[in-house]
Structure 1
Amino acid sequence: MADGFNQLDQRLADSGYDEGLPASYPPRPDIDERPIQIAHANIWSRFAAVTGLVSALAGAALLAHAIAPSRLGVIGQVGISAWVGVSVAFALLTIILVVIARHSGTIPNRPSVGSAGIILLICGMLLTVAGLLIANSFPKGIIKAPARDEAPISSAQAMTGGIDKAVGQCASGWHDIGLDGYVGISQARYCTDTTMAYVVFDNDSAASLAKGPIRARVPDLLSRYGGGLQPQDLWLLTGKRWMVVGSKAQVTGLQGQWGGQAEPLMSQH
């Protein structure tokens, strides 16, 4: 039997069948057998996106500060120049990082690398420019906080007591002022010791009509009632339905207690 198997093997060898199939099939020409490379995001482009975001946020803060500086709390206390500096500095840093990212990737100068940082940078610059334009056009902002107006106009005693508390006691007492020819005035009093006077109006209409003429008469009233101050030394504190005249220190001290708008008496003359 062994001789029979040997004869069969010899016949297969002679016929060439023993070569059999190849050990491995040759690779197909349309298949790339190189190791697959997974594309990872360039770390520099991520840094550029972060710095671009900071630039955009600083520009947004600047714009908000320009629109409503008195309603932003801590943000409103930061100067405009500081927000501009942050926005511009991080914009420049973003440009540098994008350049580095485009020259350090597997495919140099690829346009899509760092695109997020570029987009955020552009947004930050647009917001910064808009904020600067609004800040220059509206130095006090477009949206203003409502002014405090807490004068106790319903009581003459409360008015004089509040002024005494803010600037010092009126030793000689408060005296009525004769404002003949003016309607809609409920209170008008002065103190010679402190050279202060105040007026309270009956309603908003009377206040809007009489504030201007009474302001123009202050120098004449000052010469009549004395006090030692000149008109250019006086300041005016005005609320919705009241006016107070005094020195700058007196007016600013009372403003902290009642609110209102303080300005030099002669500012419009």
Structure 2
Amino acid sequence: MKIRSCFVLLFVFCVSISCAYGSPLMAQSINESKTDYTIQYNNSVYNPYDLNNNYIIEISEISAAVDDFLNGQLSISEISELVDFFLSGDEYDIPVGEPEILSSSSYIEYDDFHLVGEVQNNLDQNIEYVKIIGTFYNEYNEVIGTDYTYTDIDILKPGQKSPFELTTYPDSFIPASYKLQLSYSTTSSEPYENVIIKSHTSDNDGDYFEVVGEVQNDGEETVEYVKIIGTFYNEDDIVIGKDYSYSTLDIITSGDTSPFELSSFPQTINPSRYDLQTQARVVD
């Protein structure tokens, strides 16, 4: 009861602050029907009556509920239900999903089947050794081949994405369908994040899509094996290609720069957009 009273007082405090200053935080949407009561928060939907989806109540969430209350979208009884939900159970965990493959697409090059895609780390901790296993089937749903690879980025932080590519090479066959699976390990290791993309331009001369640019070491450490990873997307945000290369300079000292170049070769594509990331190793 004391805990619940604290939340009620906190809610009243938020109402006072919100009335006085207005809430600068993102409003959440509350949808109600006779059979469904969900909270949409940060692009995820939660059911207050599903205790498997408990998550930590934060000031931003209370403030968002205040906004809905002031706008007439929530009643006092509904606020009370939300408070009861936040306080239910012994633990309050932010729901996190497994790392997932966001999208994939395929193309044929030199009679070889290629499959490109993108993995996102949905955990709340870093992961490494992210392995993608592909199983290829014929029209009768019989296995005709398999391949595996790892993401181009070695360590994925929470929310980070990385491309990958599978191929049937050296076997030349075109599968009727395929299945993708993931495996990974969690890690406490932290990647070096101070190599930035200083500038870049792209060009498509009708053959291959190319990106040239420059990286800069903004950190205090000297780094080596500076890898630049490019992911190419179509208009539907589906991965249609990827490439990686290393900086022209083998070793980049603090504050120094180095050029790089990426290409869609041997694939001919015209992406709607692309994303660039870096990784590097600190020189011992």
Is the TM value for this pair above 0.5? Answer: no
Identify which of structures 1 and 2 has the higher relative contact order when contacts are C-alpha pairs closer than 8 Å and 6+ apart: 1
- Structure showing greater Rg: 1
Question: Higher helix fraction: Structure 1 or Structure 2?
Answer: 1
Q: TM-score, normalised by structure 1?
A: 0.19
